[in-house]
């Protein structure tokens, strides 16, 4: 009950903020894009991770409101990045609820018009198990989003249910290899094999493959050996506020 009040206050009192974690080119380590991650500037506790707020939004039927707030901030941020000469795209995490509610396409269309920003600049990150339930309806929406030029990436690939038929059948633009495979990469041959397999699948589908959770140079080295082209992780940067991210990106442009 208190979390519901927290969520309402956070939304109405501007306590939420989008942070940006760079996605880098693993060859030259330049910033190519960023993932938007929600943070909660709590009046007493400082900057908090979004887990509890997202859970609260799900259980109190406010996920669409929170999701719309996030999308609007992403569009605003794109406008700011353009103004600073950084014409990259941004990815936003989408909760299954937002797909089931059928409002996503309407929201994106509206925001794209209001901010005069093409939808091609937005990438949606979906967890792997999103399409497992109600898959026909989800597939239809995802196809429509792709036709509008919205990029769709499958987040945490290899974790969830690993439904490869779903990966095969959906028109996706990127596979994001779950960080659990990257974390124990150096001393686990199976992890390396899974990453190699993901890379082969991505190539065959014509989509990009990105590794998450890169924390060490040893991991980076193996990922380069395997041929993974893009990555994200604390080795490069955690998620940071927009002004900080702008500085990181400007060093590369
Ligand atoms: O940095 P991190 O702790 O923020 O993210 C925790 C989890 O919350 C991740 O699974 C991430 O995908 C999710 N998350 C972060 N921001 C958002 C958001 O804006 N919307 C949704 N639905 N999930 C988010
Ligand atoms: O579910 P999703 O993949 O969107 O969640 C991303 C989560 O991973 C966020 O909480 C983000 O802060 C976190 N993260 C990003 N890079 C790293 C990393 O290098 N190591 C670890 N442990 N977590 C990371
Ligand atoms: Na994500
Ligand atoms: Mn992920």
Q: Which residues of 144-158 are buried (b: 16+ CB within 10 A; e: fewer)?
A: ebeeeebbbbbbbbb
Q: Which two tokens stand for residue 60?
A: 């109190």
Ligand 4 mean position, distance from CA 81 (Å): 24
Q: What is the pLDDT of residues 126-165, one digit of tens each?
A: 986 665 556 788 888 999 999 999 999 999 999 876 678 8
Give the integer Cα–Cα distance in Å for 131 and 172.
Answer: 12
Residue boundaries of the structural domains of the chain: 2-246
The residue that leads in pLDDT, 177 or 251, is 177
pTM: 0.96
Give the integer Cα–Cα distance in Å for 53 and 185.
Answer: 32
ipTM of the complex: 0.97
Domain at 2-246: CATH code? 3.20.20.450
Give the integer Cα–Cα distance in Å for 109 and 104.
Answer: 9
In short, whether 155's Cβ falls inside 6 Å of ligand 2 is: yes
Q: What is the pLDDT of residues 104-113, one digit of tens each?
A: 999 999 999 9
Q: Degrees (nearest 5) of the Cα angle 115, 117, 251?
A: 110
In short, whether 93's Cβ falls inside 6 Å of ligand 2 is: yes
Relative to beta strand 31-42, strand 46-48 is antiparallel
């Amino acid at each position: 009950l208190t979390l519901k009040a927290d969520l309402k206050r956070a939304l109405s009192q501007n306590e939420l903020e989008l942070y940006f974690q760079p996605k880098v080119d693993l060859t030259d380590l330049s910033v190519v894009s960023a993932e938007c991650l929600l943070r909660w500037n709590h009046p007493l506790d400082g900057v908090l991770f979004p887990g509890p707020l997202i859970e609260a939004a799900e259980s109190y039927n406010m996920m669409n409101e929170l999701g719309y707030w996030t999308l609007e901030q992403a569009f605003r941020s794109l406008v700011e990045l353009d103004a600073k000469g950084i014409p990259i795209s941004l990815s936003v995490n989408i909760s299954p609820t937002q797909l089931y509610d059928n409002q996503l396409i309407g929201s994106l269309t509206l925001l794209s018009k209001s901010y005069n920003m093409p939808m091609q600049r937005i990438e949606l990150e979906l967890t792997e198990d999103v399409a497992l339930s109600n898959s026909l309806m989800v597939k239809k929406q995802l196809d429509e989003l792709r036709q509008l030029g919205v990029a769709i990436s499958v987040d945490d690939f290899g974790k969830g249910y690993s439904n490869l038929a779903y990966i095969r059948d959906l028109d996706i633009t990127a596979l994001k290899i779950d960080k659990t495979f990257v974390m124990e990469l150096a001393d686990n041959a199976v992890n390396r094999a899974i990453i190699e397999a993901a890379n082969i699948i991505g190539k065959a589908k014509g989509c990009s493959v990105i590794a998450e959770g890169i924390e060490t140079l040893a991991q980076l080295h193996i990922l380069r050996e395997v041929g993974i082209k893009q990555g994200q992780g604390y080795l490069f940067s955690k998620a940071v506020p927009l002004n900080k991210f702008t500085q990181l990106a400007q060093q590369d442009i």
